[in-house]
Structure 1
Amino acid sequence: MVDLNFDEARLDEMPVFYFINYINLIHDNFLKDNFNDIAPRDFTYLSNIYYHEDLSQRELADLLFVSESNVAQIIKRLEKNGYVKRDVVKDNSGKKILSLTDKGESAFNSLLNLIVEFESKLFKDYSAEDKDKFREMIHDYCERAAEY
Structure 2
Amino acid sequence: MYSRGGIYHLMAKVSHKNFLYGFSILKKENLHPGQMPLLALLWKEEGLSQRELAKRLDIKPSTLNVMIGRLEKNGYIRKEHDPNDQRRSLIYFTAEGRTVCGKMKKKFSEFRDVIMDNFSEEEKEELCRLLQKFCDCLDEQMKQSELRKDKEGNDA
Same fold (TM over 0.5): yes
**Which of 21, 25, 36 is equivalent to 1:30?**
21
* Displacement over 6 Å in runs of 4+: none
Partner of 2:105: 112
Q: Per-residue displacement from partner, 1:36-72 (whole Å, max 9, x unpaired)? A: 3111112222111111233221121112221111101
Partner of 1:4: none
Q: Which of 65, 69, 77 matches 1:76?
A: 69
Once the two structures are aligned, what percentage of the paired residues are identical? 21
| Structure 1: 5+ residue stretches without partners | 1-6
What secondary structure does 2:100 align onto? helix
Give the AA of the match of 2:2.
E
RMSD of equivalent CA atoms:
3.4
Residue 129 (structure 1) shift:
10
Q: Is 2:22 aligned against 1:67?
A: no
Query: Quick one: distance in 2 between partners of 1:30 and 1:107?
Result: 17
Alpha carbons of structure 1 residues 134 and 58: separation in structure 2 relative to 1, 3 Å: farther
Match of 2:94 in 1: 101
After TM superposition, list the pairs within 5 Å mapping 1:1-148 onto structure 2: 8-10=2-4, 19=11, 24-34=15-25, 35-36=27-28, 37-124=30-117, 125-127=119-121, 130=124, 134=128
Give the Å deviation of 1:107. Answer: 0.8
Match of 1:3 in 2: none
TM-score (norm 1): 0.70
Shift of 1:113: 1.0
| Greater CA drift, 87-96 or 47-56 | 47-56
Q: Which residue of 1 aligns with 2:150?
A: none
Tell me the distance in 2 between the aligned counterparts of 1:123 and 1:13: 20
SS at match of 1:53: coil
Contact 2:50 2:90 in 1 (8 A): yes
In 2, the alpha carbon distance for the partners of 1:128 and 1:92 equals 53
Cα offset, 1:12, TM superposition: 9.7
Gaps of 5+ in 2: 140-145, 147-156
